[in-house]
Amino acid sequence: MSKIAKNQIPVLDGVSVEINGQDIKTKGPKGELSLRVHDDVSVQMEDGNIRITPKSSDRQAKAMWGTMWSRVSNMVQGVHEGYVKNLEIKGVGYRANVQGKNLVLQLGYSHDVHYPIPEGVNIAVEKQTSVAISGIDKQKVGQVAAEIRSYRPPEPYKGKGVRYSDEYILRKEGKKK
């Protein structure tokens, strides 16, 4: 049973929520998102807050209750504030830049890695070794960050690679004589 989903989701100032059956649309200053809520869960507006409740007490409904609560909460926060993931690139000669609709990464391979920037996500390169991924959809921002990181994950010996800015890499000691 979800403990967090027992709470109501507050609708922030400047955000409008439209509920039509199982469909939810949120509009805010950053944009708009829509979601079809799972059939095992019901959604209502109460006193300017969103309440999500399971329709039955079976295992599937309880699992979807917390999941849908988180997704709707992320939608409300996303259209109001947005989400940002920051990546750092460590390594000699490793760098990134944006060329048109592509992120071009030089990660020590014999060729450059071209990553097409998906719709609804903005990628900004402040320095050549710092990439900021932003957007209103939390899932999409996290997925893009994970895909970029997967081109050269950080290795434990020298710490080279693409990492999240708040990620700690457990370093290993090299071989001894």
Q: Return the domain boundaries, the chain.
A: 4-80, 83-164
Q: What percent of the chain has pLDDT over 90?
A: 47
Q: How many CB atoms lie within 10 A of CB 166?
A: 8
Over residues 35-52, mean pLDDT: 88
Is there a shared CATH topology between the 4-80 domain and the 83-164 domain?
yes
pLDDT value, residue 88: 93
Name the pLDDT band for 131 (thresholds 50, 70, 90). Answer: very high
49-92 pLDDT tens trace? 888 888 888 888 888 888 899 999 999 999 998 999 999 999 89
Tokens of 122: 């903005």
pLDDT value, residue 22: 86
CATH topology of domain 4-80: Outer Surface Protein A; domain 3 (3.90.930)
Name the pLDDT band for 2 (thresholds 50, 70, 90). Answer: low
Rounded Cα–Cα distance for residues 114 and 95 (Å)? 12
pLDDT at 1 over 60: no
What mean pLDDT value characterizes the chain?
A: 89
pLDDT value, residue 141: 93
- Residues written for the chain: 177
Over residues 107-121, mean pLDDT: 91
C-alpha radius of gyration, the chain, whole number: 20
Max CA separation in the chain (angstroms): 70
pTM of the model: 0.85
146-175 pLDDT tens trace? 999 999 999 999 889 999 998 888 888 888
Rounded Cα–Cα distance for residues 125 and 107 (Å)? 15
Over residues 108-116, mean pLDDT: 92
Q: What is the CATH number of domain 83-164?
A: 3.90.930.12
